[in-house]
Structure 1
Amino acid sequence: MKISQRSVFIIFVFVFLFGTLPGCGKKAESQGPQFGTIPASPKIPVYRFAVHPLHNPAKLVTAYQPLIDYLNSRLQGAQLGLEASRDYADFEKKYSEGKPEVILPNPWQTIQAVKAGYHVIAMAGEPEDFKGIFIVRKDSNLKKPADLKGKAVSYPSPTALAACIMPQYFLYEQGININSEIENRYVGSQESSIMNAYLGLTAAGATWPPPWRAFQKDFPQEAAELKVIWETDSLINNSVMVRDDIPEQVAEQIRELLLELDETPEGKLILAGMETAHFLPASNADYDVVRQYIDNFELKVRPIVEP
């Protein structure tokens, strides 16, 4: 039986509203979802490739498993297994404990992961694509940012740089005290932030371009009722990092394969599924601009992590 796009959306709304499907709740609460194709040979080391919650776990594996399969078909001396996390806090706990060998964090998480023993080998996507956007219903009465005063705004997580920190700094620059003049709702995922706006649970939902493009493709009927009303300036995009104890030859293989991904039709198809233009060379030093941005944000707006 073919499942219609409408049925998929109804299931999506059900999971959004109630958190999980019947019969799946207890396991989901006890540990985050794990995804990946693990090689059968125990002689080959398998490194976990953990991607921060760009999407909900099911959507993330659909988008990123083709990349893992591509890398595994070309890597020598190692294999990768994709690992998703149920939310930002779950992902951040993993890298802070040094558990995954390879990670794809946002820029704020990148500078935190350096402290935990990781280093940057590439950047995922164009810097210009890393910006916050505000999604509202087309029938919204909002005209200017000040109209949000007294209303609720949804975000994936307080540590989501493009989808929370940058939008909140934008509101600060527009004269809004985000700590007292609006209600901030941290709803767990990019899709949930968009859905809050769609369902009218918040006046606006903050996200960033890749999840919004994916939502438009997956749910065009619902997306047609939404629009981008404001956007922030751009920063630097997400990174790819490896743990410092990973063999240099393995890290270099991964880096080269990522940088060459946009040179073949197969690679371009994989990138399109991730809503990513290409991977670019990058190092720890490229993310110093994020430290400066965060220092300014914490001074003027709020601490990223509550003490």
Structure 2
Amino acid sequence: MLQHPPRNPIDLAQAFRSSVAVLASCFALSDAATADTFTIGIVPQFEPIKLAEIWSPILRELEEETGHTFEMVGSPRISEFEDGFIAGDFDFAYMNPYHFLVARKAQGYDALVRDGARELFGVLVVAKDSGIENVADLEGKTIAFPSPNALGAALLMRADLDRIHGLEYKQEYVSTHSSTYLNVALGQMDAGGGVMATLNRAEPQVRDRLRIIYETTRVPPHPFVAHQRIAPDVAEAVQTAFLKIADTTEGQELLARIPMRQAIAATSAEYDGLYALNLQNYWVD
């Protein structure tokens, strides 16, 4: 049974910060750096150990299909992941759609693959046994978000709460989607912003204590992208490998954990519609 500690934000990313060094050795995909070794940054929607468990077998499959080596670069916090792609630290990356707009402008990243079976949208959750029934009930309350620039969980959500509902509320940033859901489930926060994909992947004992009271506008889902420095033939090989993995039952099960239920080829132009949402007003540098 979940316990109820004192009301302080729970930061799972901080708790797992020390595990990043361990993951580098436990989940290393190659001991030797060669000309064919590429770094991959993954937006930290979940704690580092869970991300490594999800992505390590996928990267091994990409290695098998392409002959290249892929090393996952850990980012304990979303803000550190943002610093990484803005600086061009990642050869490849999996990021939210608005991150992609920023990454494309800053470093010329191009979209390769996305989920063709779903759209991305934010969800506002409250504790199942709370008396909060709608957005208006959150006036003056405290809402948890993974980070200021998490697209569905924070950017779209904060824009809607401001522009559509005119809500006045207190904000707390707790590093990951998992932390957000746990804080709300334990009554540490009155509500929390997330996305349906990560809510579905939350631990059952946490997810079952939450209910959704609001959903945001829908946008194309997270793309897997390549930096412009990556040779076109390498980028194409990685894209082809992703699609080949998605063409098998075993591969579909691996990708579903991201979650990416139906991997399809993506183009950068598919994300241009996000500019019309004017989310730059809510982006925090």
TM-score, structure 2 as length reference: 0.88
Aligned match of 2:45:
54
Contact 2:10 2:183 (8 Å CA) reproduced: no
Go from structure 1 to structure 2 and tell me whether the alpha carbon gap of 1:110 and 1:20 turns closer, same or farther (over 3 Å shift).
Answer: closer
How many residues in Structure 1 have an aligned counterpart in Structure 2?
Answer: 281
Aligned match of 1:223:
207
Go from structure 1 to structure 2 and tell me whether the alpha carbon gap of 1:260 and 1:183 turns closer, same or farther (over 3 Å shift).
Answer: same
Q: Which of these residues, 150, 160, 163, is aligned with residue 150 of structure 2?
A: 160
Bigger shift: residues 92-101 or 278-287 = 278-287
The one-letter code sitting in structure 1 at the alignment partner of 2:178 is: E
Deviating above 3 A after TM superposition, structure 1's stretches of 4 or more consecutive aligned residues are: 15-21, 31-36, 40-44, 126-129
Aligned match of 1:104:
94
Aligned match of 2:282:
303
Note the 1:1-307 alignment, pairs <5 A: 16=10, 20=14, 34=24, 36-76=27-67, 78-126=68-116, 128-177=118-167, 181-215=168-202, 219-293=203-277, 295=278, 297-298=279-280, 302-305=281-284
The one-letter code sitting in structure 1 at the alignment partner of 2:127 is: R
Go from structure 1 to structure 2 and tell me whether the alpha carbon gap of 1:52 and 1:19 turns closer, same or farther (over 3 Å shift).
Answer: closer
Distance in 2, Cα, partners of 1:18 & 1:264? 34
Distance in 2, Cα, partners of 1:90 & 1:82? 14
TM-score, structure 1 as length reference: 0.82
Q: Is there any run of 5+ residues in structure 2 with no aligned partner, and where?
A: none
User: Cα RMSD between the aligned structures?
Assistant: 2.8
The one-letter code sitting in structure 1 at the alignment partner of 2:197 is: P
CA deviations over 1:107-127 (Å, ceiling 9, x no partner): 111011112323323243247
Contact 1:122 1:279 (8 Å CA) reproduced: no
CA deviations over 1:85-139 (Å, ceiling 9, x no partner): 1111111111111111111111111011112323323243247430001111111
Q: Is there any run of 5+ residues in structure 1 with no aligned partner, and where?
A: 1-5
Distance in 1, Cα, partners of 2:227 & 2:79? 19
Q: Percent identity?
A: 22
CA deviations over 1:222-277 (Å, ceiling 9, x no partner): 32221122211211111111111112211111011112332101211102222221
CA deviations over 1:156-204 (Å, ceiling 9, x no partner): 0110001111111222344224xxx100111110001111111111111
